[in-house]
Structure 1
Amino acid sequence: MKYIPFILFTVLTNAAAQLMLKQGMMTLSPAVMAQPNMALKAILIVFQPWVFFGLATFVISMASHMFVLSKVDLSFAYPFLSLAYVAVAVLAWQLFGEDLGAYKIAGIVFICVGTVLIAQSGSPLSDRPHATHSTPATAMTDKAQS
């Protein structure tokens, strides 16, 4: 449970990146979108400030996620990323006026309940006494040697 703040940081930076990318794509000039040269168009899009910072925030989110994966089980950490959908849906509703109807709200409730259940059932790697982590290949090698 001590890695939950790091997991939530990963979730929030992931959601922030999505919101920045959306803002960036909404504010592209028509001249960029009309650019016939696809390589130049891609460069112009990537270096649009909101898009650029959104991509940079994704890098931070992925670095945080890699740290988390070094400390907890993947089956524990990965489902938390679904909370990014919750944050994005609510913030997109507030910031961009996107629809947040009954089905989305029900889905958000299910995501939150599922994440709580996973959080209760998972155990970080470092919390296990003498945990060994072998791949299927090393497990077979160990079995063959004994």
Structure 2
Amino acid sequence: MNLTTFAFILTGVLLNAAAQLLLKAGTNALGGAIHLTAQNWFATGIKVISQLPILAGLACYAISVVVWIIGLSRADVTLAYPMLSLGYIATAIGAYLFLGEVVSVQRMVAMAVIIVGVALMART
């Protein structure tokens, strides 16, 4: 995989991770868990889609799809798709830094395993 292809793949992964963080920030701004009922689904939907972080997260998703398609056009899917696991790491770091979530030692070890796996995959 050349540097340009890797940049497209990584950008797609990072945009996807940013989308997750923005969606979570949007739900946090709504007060946490969303509870839908037959009576409140429309009003709740309006509240959800009116949150700027949620709209930004959806925009990140849309852009990430375009970037991802460009990356896939340049790389084997068997190489590109495992790179998505880097999104777990980016999301965990972002959640720690921006959302105040705890990243346990066990999660850090799991992220290290992912990094080793992606590095091995990328060398093929």
TM-score (normalised: structure 2): 0.88
Identity %: 36
- Which residue in the other structure is 2:98 paired with? 95
The separation in 1 between residues aligned to 2:18 and 2:112, in whole angstroms, is 21
Residues 56-94 of structure 1: CA distance to partner in whole angstroms, max 9, x if unpaired?
A: 111101111111111111111111111011011111112
Displacement of 1:120: 0.6
* Segments ≥4 residues shifted beyond 6 Å: 32-35
- Which residue in the other structure is 1:76 paired with? 79
Query: 5+ residue gaps in structure 2?
Result: none
Larger radius of gyration, structure 1 or 2?
A: 1
Query: 5+ residue gaps in structure 1?
Result: 122-146
In structure 2, what residue type is equivalent to 1:107?
Answer: A
Aligned-pair Cα RMSD in Å:
2.0
If asked which structure has higher relative contact order (CA below 8 Å, sep 6+), I would say 2
The separation in 2 between residues aligned to 1:34 and 1:5, in whole angstroms, is 39
Pick from 96, 99, 115: which aligns with 1:112?
115
TM-score (normalised: structure 1): 0.75
The separation in 2 between residues aligned to 1:28 and 1:118, in whole angstroms, is 40
- Which residue in the other structure is 2:24 paired with? 22
The verdict on how the C-alpha distance between 1:81 and 1:34 changes in structure 2, with shifts beyond 3 A counting, is: closer
Q: Report SS of the residue matched to 2:123.
A: helix
Displacement of 1:97: 1.7
Alignment of 1:49-64 (within 5 A): 49-64=52-67
